[in-house]
Structure 1
Amino acid sequence: MAGRIPHPTLKGPSVVKEIVIGMALGLVAGGFWKMYNWNEQRNVRAFYDMLEKGETSVFAEEKDRGPD
């Protein structure tokens, strides 16, 4: 008759817990990325609105460099 083989008890992290933590971190990172993109869209839209109204230009102003 064969003896009993002790099975190691798994003390590692739970797979379900890791999936939930990963999804939560992904949603938080995605939320920050989305807020960043919305802010960039708002800035670009404001720039083009100002450009259309003539309040800004894409050319740098010429500055007086003094005598050459």
Structure 2
Amino acid sequence: MAGAHKIAHATLKGPSVVKEIIIGLSLGLVAGGLWKMHHWNEQRKVRSFYDMLDRGEISVVVEE
């Protein structure tokens, strides 16, 4: 045998604390943004409903 070939192996390291914090913050901000968008959409629907109710365009009483 002419000699052992050197194979580059990835060295296993522990978790990077800074990387984990950045990933966690990013995921949290994305989830928070989506939740706020959902909340604003629901708020817009409720406000629209009560505006139409005040204008008399709709009623919550069933007509006979």
TM-score scaled to structure 2, two decimals? Answer: 0.75
Unaligned regions of 5+ residues in structure 1, if any?
1-8, 63-68
Mapping of residues 45-60 of structure 1, within 5 Å: 45-60=47-62
Identity across the alignment (%)? 76
Q: Which runs of 4+ in 1 moved over 4 A?
A: none
Q: How big is the alpha-carbon RMSD for the aligned residues of Structure 1 and Structure 2?
A: 1.6
1:27 equivalenced with 2:24 (yes/no): no
Q: How many Å apart are 1:12 and its aligned residue?
A: 2.3
**Residues of 2 paired with 1:51 and 1:11: CA distance?**
62
Question: What's 1:18 paired with?
Answer: 20
Equivalent residue, structure 1, for 2:39:
37
TM-score after normalising by structure 1: 0.71
